[in-house]
Chain A
Amino acid sequence: MRCGMGIEARQVNELFINIDPIQAGGKLTADAMKAVIAYGDGYSACDNCRKPNRLDYISKPPIAGFHRDVAAWLNMDTVRVIPGARRGFQAVAHTYVGKGDPVLLTSLSHYTEFLAIEEAGGIAREIPHDPSHTITADATAAKIEEIQREFGRAPVLAFIDHVDYQYGNMHDAKAIAKVARQYDIPVLYNGAYTVGILPVDGRDLGVDFVIGSGHKSMAAPAPSGVLAATNERAAEVFRTTAIEGDITKRRFGIKEPEMMGCTLMGATLVGMMASFPSVKERVKHFDRELEHNNLVLKALLSVSGTKILSEFPRHHTLTRVDTIGSFDTVAESHKKRGFYFSGALEEKGIFGVIPGATKVWKFNTYGLTAQQAAFLAETFVTIATENGLAVTQ
């Protein structure tokens, strides 16, 4: 099937087990697929927009209720929907960071946090990770002290990635936030890999903002996400417009400058809403996801020379592995070089490992059924055996 000139219908998730590290949590639910078709037209969420003319006030479809429900689910006060987590970083950074201000983030932070700081004129200062690629509260305190010595003041904002994108390691966000709060630093919790994947309680974490990614972790179309805030911070980041035209004297009601007015007006928002009941339910079963992940890791570790670079045992399904001592040794003499590995995986129905990668690579088992996890585990072992690698039982 074609969607148009040169656009083949995508069937990756129907034909393969997809273990792409960033795609696992964003696969749509059946209801979201229906919503994408029904609300694909531009501005389709706006059919029943009435005064005060803002997205989060629309009650049909129940967008207003969705905002309230997400806030309650995250145990925060106020929520706005945003076109991706990065736009949340941007809105918060633009509110708190001025030219030359130091901003705290980590040596495992996502690049879009750096860009948000850069755009606001701030200066990035990273908390170093320890040898196990973990960010600790002690390292946070030491970095803040160092920043105070360098700038004569504390950072104006702290970004904390609860689970980082590089190793999928879980960092003690609550303890890190506690340290930051002792210096009166607003804390932005980056939940791109947690919100929609496992339970998140913003108030318990003691953070000012919780940001989630719809397309990464909430079974929603891209670009989508949520920005949740405490009441105190909501008044700052979600402040309303005060500008007035000098000729027309036009003003713009309760539109919010950091949101550029309304944000998601169609399939992205309604898709995220349609998946929300399933997402709320699935976060309660994250232990099952870890079981599937462990099954696959056990199989990978049975291939002699394979190492897990992420923390182990795992607390998240996004995992970084080192196969220099196993699958990469085959690449040295294989006619397809490193591409033999991704090729063999694809032939057996596995998608998502970067083509050519045999040294260090990432994968994510989130959302696989038990049968698929077992199939994936068996496939890694089969490819190892077929290529003469030693496998222990």
Chain B
Amino acid sequence: MRMILRETAPLHSLDNDQRIQAQRLLENLERQVASLKQEMLK
């Protein structure tokens, strides 16, 4: 995500490929956060 922000600075207008990549990264992040919640807060 940080690299996408860097590559698109300063306007951060994402093209289609970047949107898809950001979507994938955020979904992956959500899965990791869910996994951490399950493991650490059980």
Q: Which residues of A contact B (CB under 8 A)?
A: 13-17, 27, 29-30, 33, 348-350, 369, 371-372, 375
Contact A33 B2 (CB under 8 A): yes
How many contacting A-B pairs (Cβ < 8 A)? Answer: 29
Contact A349 B2 (CB under 8 A): no
Residue of B nearest to A27 (CB): B6
Q: Which residues of B contact A (CB under 8 A)?
A: 2-3, 5-11
- The CA-CA distance from A348 to B11 in the complex, in Å, is 9
Q: How far is the CB of A351 from chain B (nearest CB, A)?
A: 9
Residue of B nearest to A29 (CB): B3
Residue of A nearest to B7 (CB): A369
Contact B6 A348 (CB under 8 A): no
Contact A375 B11 (CB under 8 A): yes
- The CA-CA distance from A371 to B9 in the complex, in Å, is 10
Residue of B nearest to A350 (CB): B10
In the complex, given contacts A372-B9, A375-B10, what are 13 additional A-B residue pairs having Cβ atoms less than 8 angstroms apart?
A14-B2, A14-B9, A15-B5, A15-B10, A16-B10, A17-B9, A17-B10, A29-B3, A348-B10, A349-B11, A350-B10, A371-B8, A375-B11
Contact A14 B5 (CB under 8 A): yes
Q: How far is the CB of A258 from chain B (nearest CB, A)?
A: 37
Contact B10 A349 (CB under 8 A): yes
B6: contacting residue among A13, A350, A371, A375, CB under 8 A: A13
B2: chain A residues at CB < 8 Å are: 14, 30, 33
Contact B9 A16 (CB under 8 A): yes
A27: chain B residues at CB < 8 Å are: 6
Q: How far is the CB of B34 from chain A (nearest CB, A)?
A: 21
